[in-house]
């Protein structure tokens, strides 16, 4: 929540904010760097033996017990004054995500999950939406910032998904998309070319809320180059649509 205050303070001075570009569509701000540095400092104070994997700073320390950080997931929304941005923080031990947290400071919503203990929104238990009908589904998605450089991109997938569902949503923060699946605001979320720091907390949130997580073929998530999160009931239906776009078919 202290990191969220840093984000909101920067948001009050967007016109003065230093904004850089990793590529023409992928933005990074001084707020991203400051939030990550703040979180790393606090983690090192409390857990000096733990490692870190951050979007901005990369890996450091013991990666067997590490904290996975996306300081501002949804930087484009943040820069444009929109509320759909979040900080994502997960703790992973020996390859297993134990704790996950997604905080949306502009909406004052904090999603938390502990392995085996369920998922919560602002301290109250949450569950995925009970819906087994594709035509009643609201599905979230995203478009990778380097989509013009990739043969596999959502421009081919979206026309296959959209006719089968009620509607599509594009919030611009994969961490929030996962949180919305966990809380029932979305029935599912899929995207290509994500990184672990985008969804590490979201994976645990969805699983602990009773949902399902896989790649497009229905297999374990792997390197996050193709991600599908759902309420579970619709998972196989979505896999049937997405499988032709999976790595195994490329």
DSSP labels for 199-218? HHHHHHHHHHTT-EEE-TTS
User: Which residues are known to be catalytic?
Assistant: 55, 70, 72-73, 75, 198
- Residues near 123 by Cβ (< 8 Å), separated by ≥ 6? none
Mean pLDDT of the chain: 91
Measured CA to CA, the distance from residue 124 to residue 182 in angstroms comes to: 12
Task: Write out the residue limits of the CATH 3.30.540.10 domain(s) in the chain.
Answer: 2-126
**Looking at the chain, which residues constitute the CATH 3.40.190.80 domain(s)?**
134-249
Mean pLDDT for 160-164 is 97
250 burial (CB, 10 Å; 0-12 / 13-18 / 19+) is exposed
* Least reliable range by pLDDT among 9-18, 31-40, 126-135, 194-203: 9-18
Per-residue pLDDT of 168-226, as tens digits, reads 999 999 999 999 999 999 999 999 999 999 999 999 999 999 999 999 999 999 889 99
Asked whether residue 238 carries a pLDDT value surpassing 90, the answer given is yes
Residue 133: count of CB within 10 angstroms of its CB: 12
Looking at the domain that runs over 2-126, which CATH code has it been given? 3.30.540.10
Closest CA to 233 of 161, 150, 130, 158: 130
| Domain topology for 134-249 | D-Maltodextrin-Binding Protein; domain 2 (3.40.190)
């Amino acid at each position: 929540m202290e990191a969220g205050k840093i984000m909101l303070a920067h948001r009050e001075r967007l016109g003065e904010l230093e904004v850089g570009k990793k590529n023409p569509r992928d933005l990074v701000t001084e707020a991203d760097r400051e939030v990550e540095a703040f979180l790393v400092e606090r983690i090192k104070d409390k857990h000096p033996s733990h490692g870190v994997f951050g979007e901005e700073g990369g890996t450091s320390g013991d990666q067997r017990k590490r904290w996975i950080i996306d300081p501002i997931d949804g930087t484009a929304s943040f820069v444009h004054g929109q509320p759909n941005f979040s900080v994502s923080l997960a703790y992973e031990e020996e390859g297993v995500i134990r704790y996950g947290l997604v905080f949306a400071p502009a909406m004052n919503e904090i999603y938390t999950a502990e392995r085996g203990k369920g998922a919560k929104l602002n301290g109250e238990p949450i569950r995925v939406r009970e819906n087994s009908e594709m035509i009643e589904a609201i599905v979230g998605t995203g478009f990778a910032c380097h989509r013009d450089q990739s043969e596999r991109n959502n421009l081919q997938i979206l026309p296959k998904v959209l006719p089968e569902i009620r509607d599509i949503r594009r919030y611009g923060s994969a961490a929030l998309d996962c949180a919305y699946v966990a809380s029932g605001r979305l029935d599912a979320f899929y995207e290509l070319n994500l990184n672990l720091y985008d969804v590490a907390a979201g994976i645990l949130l969805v699983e602990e809320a009773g949902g399902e997580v896989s790649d497009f073929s229905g297999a374990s998530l792997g390197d996050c180059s193709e991600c599908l999160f759902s309420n579970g009931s619709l998972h196989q239906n979505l896999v049937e649509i997405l499988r032709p776009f999976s790595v195994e078919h490329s």
